[in-house]
Structure 1
């Protein structure tokens, strides 16, 4: 079965009929932004095809009332597709394990075809695993580790290396086990009803442990991942509703509370936090948690059981990343050409907001960061060229707003605003971009929002926060010199930056820091001392001792000295 094919237009309508629910979406895969899988419409019906087949206590056919409910939801989506102008050739209905293994699968699909005119793409097991893996690849700028998908009826495991649009997985595909969240819940309930249930649970645990260990061997990890496993440990990428629920529970108990980014994709924890099964199970049983339904909460003991087994079976796992990507995202990602897949998802998400001079402004920002030299200083690796381009793209988005609103709206743009639905952006990138953009407008936030800003800083390193402050202050300077975000004459720009690490800075001349040279036009109204001095002071203030990140005496910071060179040409 081929899942590829260029769309007749950029709009795609997609239905993902999973075990635990049905997801509907319309995505605009315009070339410039397609890598972030922008969604213009989405909906979900909480129809569990897995639970429906066990409604009598033993597995049976999908009940007719469930089929009727599915048909109604599909007809509603058909109207939505018409309203948005999605070409009929660009609408696909994907079905996975729950449909594939249903006793009345053929009749179920026939009724849907008769009612909607849509054929269901029933994904074979191996195709489902491949598309699900692509969903994980779509969820990050790069992937390098083990991948697991936890559905309602089963869980799959494989390895993946995804970078620059190229995706590698095990030539054996993924190994599937009947340990989905709903299936495990049912199995554990049956065990609890037996005599000697503790002994039976122990036997099940040992069986699962051996199966995961054998799968790890059989997947034949490449040398690069085997080296990581021995030195520093592997990263585990998790998808599927059961794992996402576990991620939201961990988020609710994060040391930074309340956690400032309400998006599961890109959330990450260390192994020690991931395996807090007793604490997380208690939270799910006793508290109401964001994004945790009663049904999902009821499955938490089963997911906790699986997590315990997994950690014991594969001790080389040290880091865990949660992703939103599944069959829907994998299918859409597979339609993209290699060049689009290779784009950074953050840069793709912000491209639509940039001015025509965004590339030039991004180059300015890059030139403001000192390179490597013999001083013991460094720039965090998170400040990549795609990140700087994203800053340049977003710098002018909030210009039309009242002054008092700009910083707040800029802070929220990567979290709950313009970029909230963008797919594949890490939490560190979201937090950094929020801090840079808020600082760019240099307006103090009201107290409740100041708390949000502090929590964003708390999930980053002090070094990252310092350089976010530095870039934000430079964005303020650039924004004042180029108020429309347009560099009209690139041959004679108003600003040219060069930066280097330098000794002898600070009040006593005893510190290493950044020397930023700003070359500007002498006979230019936007670069006179009166026009620039306040902004230059803001840049230098970032490096003052009182503004160190983490406190004056023990916090992180380096002096910043700005030299202005005014020239005639």
Structure 2
């Protein structure tokens, strides 16, 4: 029997995926099937199955032997974690190699389950679903660069448009070019001429999927001292990317600052990944490059969800999970979502769709740091939120979520809070984070973080521009100087005249 701690969601049933790629083989065990999947265990090996396949037509013999040994271990690990279902997916190398069928049969014998060999169309489909699942919404061209192939697909919201599979994976391109970077650029250019869908991506984002491109992005983060080491939804401007890619495409990677952060086994493929991305940028003319941490595996999981679950907001789902796991009362968190919405409306604060989503998520996350020492709750919460494995949120939005929680704990006028995170947020987001935090600071003193009070609070106009926060008479004992003082902070940050009042009783001006 597998013992689970209270840090796990008890209604989830673990499942695992083994992803057999041309370069790497990875085992990922997920906590359960969910809109925003959480990883319980993750391990990979760089097998290099597709190395030399262009010249031999076969999977690398040594890699095959090593893979079988790892499959045995991966199966044991999957069972150890308690996965009730194991899915095995194989991509380009396994489907194209002459000895691919024999390899698959041996793998099935070791893993004791069916291996799904994805066609190029299926691989592109699941990759597109991975991008669709990770952004809210996606609208551009998704490109998944593996060791053996490149899948390009047009995505727009939940719609999957034209797609194509090209033999431009890093290992394959290296083999086809016979280690010549100049020849690799010519091959990539010629192959991408067949990808007519790239023309339809002009002025739209390009979503970069796959380990080689993520490592390029990580290298660029290091080189530019980017303050947040979160890969998903990391955006790179076209102009700033051009010179960087040009340097890497020349094979001068050892000179690039931060290269020590990329494993030596991965470094040899970085120039080829840079070359392919350069040629895509030339052919497509995208508005920007956005890195996606989600690909075929996550797209496959997304396909297993029912339609209602697929339509759920992944950021809200993940925030809800954290509230269930770490807050004093998830019911209080939901009341805070509703009450802050009414408060913003009473104050005449308009929200975009994303601003409303981010406010909702911030409210769900507002109490996740309560177990920390009071002096460190803000810092701990900020770090958890800023670096959480959230999807459906860009980096400025992530900064808003973290700052709202930090201001709530450390004071809305504390200018020393996380300057590196503030640098990622827009001025509007910083101001919204202060306002939301100020509202939270008022209401937490009235509710003690427990449900039942907020639904009974209301805002009333008292004339002359005065807005009163009114407690019902039955809650008159909550009336006092401390909440009035916090209301004064809210008045200051919103430039409004506010009073704390009891229904049928006294008013206490916010001072």
Q: TM-score, normalised by structure 2?
A: 0.85
Match of 1:93 in 2: 88
Does 517-526 or 178-187 show the bigger shift?
517-526
Task: Return the offset for 1:443.
Answer: 5.8
Match of 2:24 in 1: 21
Match of 1:102 in 2: 97
Matches of 2:383 and 2:184, distance apart in 1: 46
Q: Is the 8 A contact 1:147 1:160 kept in 2?
A: yes
Matches of 2:482 and 2:399, distance apart in 1: 30
Match of 1:564 in 2: 500
Task: Report the secondary structure of 2:258's partner residue.
Answer: coil
Task: Select 2:361's aligned residue among 390, 405, 408.
Answer: 390
Q: Is the 8 A contact 1:270 1:319 kept in 2?
A: yes
Task: Return the offset for 1:251.
Answer: 2.2
Match of 2:480 in 1: 529
CA pair 48-422 structure 1, distance change in 2 beyond 3 A: farther
Matches of 1:81 and 1:71, distance apart in 2: 15
Matches of 1:96 and 1:470, distance apart in 2: 49
CA pair 258-143 structure 1, distance change in 2 beyond 3 A: closer
2:331 matches 1:331:
no
Task: Return the offset for 1:496.
Answer: 2.4
Q: Is the 8 A contact 1:436 1:468 kept in 2?
A: yes
Task: Select 2:268's aligned residue among 295, 298, 304.
Answer: 298
Task: Return the offset for 1:293.
Answer: 2.0
Q: Is the 8 A contact 1:265 1:323 kept in 2?
A: yes
Match of 2:240 in 1: 273
Two-structure CA RMSD over aligned residues (Å): 3.2
Matches of 1:390 and 1:485, distance apart in 2: 18
Task: Select 1:402's aligned residue among 373, 387, 397.
Answer: 373
Task: Report the secondary structure of 1:331's partner residue.
Answer: helix
Match of 1:469 in 2: 434
Task: Report the secondary structure of 2:55's partner residue.
Answer: coil
| 1:37-66 deviation digits (Å, cap 9, x = unpaired) | 122222222222222x45xx9335334432
Task: Return the offset for 1:403.
Answer: 0.6
| 1:76-101 deviation digits (Å, cap 9, x = unpaired) | 222222223222xx211110111111
Of structures 1 and 2, the one scoring higher in RCO (CA 8 A, sep 6+) is 1
Q: Is the 8 A contact 1:368 1:516 kept in 2?
A: no
Task: Select 1:259's aligned residue among 227, 231, 236.
Answer: 227
Q: When the two structures are aligned, how many residues end up with a matched partner?
A: 485
- 1:317-328 matches, within 5 Å, as 317-328=286-297
Where do 5+ consecutive residues of structure 2 fail to align?
A: 1-10, 325-329, 506-511
2:330 matches 1:359:
no
Task: Return the offset for 1:370.
Answer: 4.4
Match of 1:125 in 2: 120
- 1:43-122 matches, within 5 Å, as 43-51=43-51, 53=52, 58-87=55-84, 90-122=85-117
| 1:362-383 deviation digits (Å, cap 9, x = unpaired) | 011112224898xxx8645531
CA pair 206-46 structure 1, distance change in 2 beyond 3 A: closer
2:451 matches 1:486:
yes
Matches of 1:206 and 1:265, distance apart in 2: 27
CA pair 63-304 structure 1, distance change in 2 beyond 3 A: closer
Matches of 1:405 and 1:481, distance apart in 2: 22
Matches of 1:80 and 1:153, distance apart in 2: 27
Task: Report the secondary structure of 2:355's partner residue.
Answer: coil
- 1:92-241 matches, within 5 Å, as 92-162=87-157, 167-170=158-161, 172=162, 174-191=163-180, 204=187, 207-208=190-191, 210-212=193-195, 214-216=196-198, 229=202, 233-241=203-211
Task: Return the offset for 1:430.
Answer: 1.9
Matches of 2:469 and 2:277, distance apart in 1: 54
| 1:441-492 deviation digits (Å, cap 9, x = unpaired) | 1269999xx57x11111112111111111111211222221113312584xx
Q: Which has the higher helix share?
A: 2
Matches of 2:488 and 2:184, distance apart in 1: 65
Q: Is the 8 A contact 1:407 1:443 kept in 2?
A: no
Matches of 1:44 and 1:526, distance apart in 2: 58
Matches of 2:212 and 2:468, distance apart in 1: 53
Task: Report the secondary structure of 1:237's partner residue.
Answer: strand
Q: Is the 8 A contact 1:523 1:568 kept in 2?
A: no
Matches of 1:93 and 1:18, distance apart in 2: 11
Task: Return the offset for 1:278.
Answer: 3.0
